[in-house]
């Protein structure tokens, strides 16, 4: 192998196998340099594999952290939306309560107005009844007075006949 070729290392299992083969060949031929180069190649493959594993783990951890941040943000957004919905529900409940209270107040006012109108109409009917009774009583008294006056005139006439004015 040339110096240039020995400097290049293959990756993965092929590179590791090539490094092992160089190590064994160097040991069999008492070529310490070749054996060292084989061990070095294996160490480089192991280091590259470890670096790859660490990079994959770091990427996984980073993606997990990103996912956790996104989940936390989603959770905050969900909580905010839920809070907004609860606020809207409370506002709607308050509006419904206000409308119910307003409807009850309107109904009470209507009932009270109805009772007041009925009371006034009742009082008016009583007043009209009393007025009619008063008019009837006045008419009765006027007729009674007319009758009494008539009787008085008749009594005067009778008295005049019985006892003329000259005799008095």
Stretch 103-120: mean pLDDT, rounded? 92
Query: Looking at the 3D structure of the chain, how many domains does it have?
Result: 1
Residue with the larger pLDDT of the pair 88 and 1: 88
Q: What per-residue confidence (pLDDT) applies to 3?
A: 43
86 part of a folded domain: yes
pLDDT of 164 above 90: no
pLDDT digits (tens, 9 = 90+) for 11-68: 678 888 988 899 899 999 999 999 999 999 999 998 998 999 999 999 999 999 999 9
Q: For residue 27, what are the domain limits?
A: 3-161
pLDDT of 4 above 50: no
126 part of a folded domain: yes
167 part of a folded domain: no
pTM: 0.43
Q: What per-residue confidence (pLDDT) applies to 11?
A: 67
111 part of a folded domain: yes
166 part of a folded domain: no
Q: How far apart are the first and last CA of the chain?
A: 189
pLDDT digits (tens, 9 = 90+) for 58-102: 999 999 999 999 999 999 999 999 999 999 999 999 999 999 999
pLDDT of 8 above 60: no
Question: For residue 63, what are its two tokens?
Answer: 């993606």
Which of 2-11, 41-50, 109-118 has the least mean pLDDT? Answer: 2-11
């Amino acid at each position: 192998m040339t110096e240039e070729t020995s400097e290049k290392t293959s990756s993965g299992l092929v590179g590791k196998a090539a490094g092992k083969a160089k190590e064994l060949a160097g040991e069999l031929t008492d070529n310490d340099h070749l054996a060292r180069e084989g061990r070095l190649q294996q160490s480089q493959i192991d280091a590259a594999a470890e670096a790859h594993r660490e990079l994959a783990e770091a990427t996984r951890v980073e993606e997990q952290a990103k996912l956790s941040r996104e989940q936390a943000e989603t959770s905050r957004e969900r909580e905010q939306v839920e809070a907004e919905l609860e606020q809207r529900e409370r506002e709607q409940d308050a509006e419904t309560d206000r409308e119910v209270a307003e409807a009850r107040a309107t109904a009470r006012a209507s009932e009270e107005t109805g009772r007041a109108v009925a009371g006034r109409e009742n009082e008016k009917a009583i007043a009209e009844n009393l007025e009619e009774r008063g008019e009837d009583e006045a008419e009765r008294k006027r007729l009674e007075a007319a009758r009494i006056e008539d009787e008085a005139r008749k009594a005067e006439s009778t008295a005049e006949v019985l006892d003329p004015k000259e005799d008095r």
